[in-house]
Structure 1
Amino acid sequence: MAGSRSERLLALLQALRRHRRPVAGADLASETGISLRTLYRDIASLRAQGAHIEGEAGLGYLLKPGFLLPPLMFSPEEIEALVLGSRWVAGTADPKLAGAARDLMTKVAAVLPGDLREDLDRTTLMVPRREQVADTADVGGIREAIRQERVLRIAYRNEQGEASERHIWPFALAYFERVRVVLAWCELREDFRSFRTDRILDFADAGRRYRRRRAVLLKEWKTAQGISPET
């Protein structure tokens, strides 16, 4: 693999992060484009810098979470992806999340080495601004309910203008170009349903947590939609 030693170590670190189960050294070497001998040296270097990598030759390797390789490094493509994604969030998401995207870019720029900071400033990938449908619900509050796995009582008006009250288990929020959609288990329908945030007239915490973890609900929803759980 071309590039400096720091870039090589970063690539190996990223490869380890992509695997949730132990991965064979030969597979890691192939994935990162280095020899098996170099892989063993780089594993030792990462461990010396504080990376908690479990395993050994013949058994496979697994990176435990919580390690960042200093200094913070990105490839040109990673910088472009970061800028493009942050600009999209800043222009599309609810105000609180949009502000967080701008703050994120400021924090990243503050810790990047000088040459990479220049790449960040020079990136010319743009996201066109589109008129958003105004939310009638506090999307930030809904995101908090998803994080806390709280049941919400919502007043909802469907496309035909019919109003109803539901108790839902919100587990995901989908951001489209003009609207946002809450994915949830609906207690009334006893099935998965989606609710546009511009049609949620009001919502409140129902005073209880839902009985299944949001990761489980998301996996079940993907299965019902014919989507790979790994997507």
Structure 2
Amino acid sequence: MSRSERLLDLLQVLRRYRQPVSGQRLAEETGVSLRTLYRDIASLQAQGADIEGEPGLGYVLKPGFMLPPMMFSAEEIEALVLGSRWVSKRTDDDLAGAAANALAKIAAVLPAELREELDSSTLLVGPSPPATNGIDIAALRRAIRNERKVELDYVDNDGSATQRTVWPFALGFFENVRMVMAWCELRLDFRHFRADRMQKMTVTEARYPRRRQVLMKDWRSSQNMAASKRETVGS
């Protein structure tokens, strides 16, 4: 690996962390000695990278520092193309268009040889039966983004119809099913709702009282606790 590639790799690793990370951890992830790591950080700082920290305290790359898109590796370009193609076939029309636009913006600033890599990618997404949705998925995504309460007419697995007011905070895209993660005011707990079982959806003007990031964190904790209980019972 050349020195320039090593420095770019270090920047990519730093971008994954929001809190200071130790030099030893960075050295292990980039495959260099701690002494080399310190030299590389000093080089990046001299070149304008806004890296804060020092030995013993850890390092963090401040938000806002952008890597030029021309530095994408071949694997990163393949990942972008494959992801864009998956989104165009597996999500709603708005997201599909957004994925195509994002890829076009990236292509516009790539050097010729990397643009050719993007245009000629041979990673394909196979066909699959279209997901059945009872509601407008794009409207649901906007409700999640804006943290709005949603009223649902929902049919559960047993065929029972219920009306729910929920706080949607995440949307899972499975092969043929869209799953909504939400806090249910009826059950006073987290629940999962299949989009194809939603008979009607009304996005209200009421914002739910907790941020979606907090709901997501609490939901993950509840899922981990449930998994631990299942492992305890099964052991």
> Is the TM value for this pair above 0.5?
yes
Structure 1: gaps of 5 or more residues: none
C-alpha displacement at 1:38, in angstroms? 3.9
Q: 1:59-91: CA deviations, max 9, x gaps?
A: 211112111122532122212221111111111
Structure 2: runs of 5 or more not aligned: 227-235
2:55 corresponds in structure 1 to 57
Residue 84 of structure 2 is matched in structure 1 by 86
Q: Are 1:187 and 2:185 counterparts?
A: yes
User: Paired residues, what number?
Assistant: 226
Please tell me the residue identity of whatever aligns with 2:75: E
Return 65-74 or 14-23, whichever deviates more.
Answer: 65-74
Match of 1:47 in 2: 45
Taking the aligned partners of 1:82 and 1:227, their CA distance within structure 2 comes to 34
Query: Is 1:3–2:2 an aligned residue pair?
Result: yes
- Describe how 1:40-189 pairs up with structure 2 within 5 A: 40-189=38-187
In percent, how many aligned pairs have the same letter?
58
Q: CA separation in 2, counterparts of 1:79 and 1:227?
A: 37
Go from structure 1 to structure 2 and tell me whether the alpha carbon gap of 1:189 and 1:72 turns closer, same or farther (over 3 Å shift). same
On the 8 A contact 2:70/2:114 being kept in 1, the answer is no
Deviation, 1:185, is: 0.6
| 8 Å contact kept, 1:71–1:113 | no
Q: TM-score, normalised by structure 2?
A: 0.87
Equivalent AA in structure 1 for residue 115 of structure 2: R
More helix by share: 2
Matching residue's letter, 1:73: M
> 1:31 aligned to 2:29?
yes
CA contact (8 A) 2:131 2:175 kept: no
User: Helix, strand or coil for the counterpart of 1:72?
Assistant: helix
Contact 1:174 1:181 in 2 (8 A): yes
Name the TM-score, length of structure 1 as normaliser: 0.89
Give the match for residue 230 of structure 2.
none
2: CA distance, partners of 1:44 / 1:71: 23
> Which of 216, 226, 229 is equivalent to 1:218?
216
Q: Output the amino acid matched with 1:3.
A: S
